Amino acid sequence: MTNITLSIDNDVYKKMRRYSEIKWSNFVRKIIEKRIEELEKIKSDFFADESLLAENWLSKEDNEAWKNL
């Protein structure tokens, strides 16, 4: 498995620490996997332009989960 480094604002990090029961690295890993699946589906369905790929890809549930962080 490859490691990556992610920079996060201090305020966000402090808020993340309030939810220590969440395995944040696992959460981010799953979000990345989900995004890749969506991109692969888009590319397999039709030729996508960059503006389409840059659109907000978070689901309603994702947005709800992130709004309090």
pLDDT averaged over the chain? 82
Q: How many domains does the chain have?
A: 1
% helix, strand, coil for the chain, step of 5: 60, 0, 40
Three-state DSSP at 25 gives helix
Q: Is residue 1 part of a domain?
A: no
9: which 2 tokens?
Answer: 């604002």
Spatial distance between the Cα atoms of 65 and 19, rounded to a whole number of angstroms: 12
- The answer to whether residue 51 sits within a structural domain is yes
pLDDT at 57: 67
Residues spanned by the domain of 57: 24-67
What pLDDT, on a 0 to 100 scale, did the predictor assign at position 63? 72
8: which residues sit within 8 A by CB, 6+ positions away? 16
* Portion of the chain with pLDDT greater than 70, in percent: 74
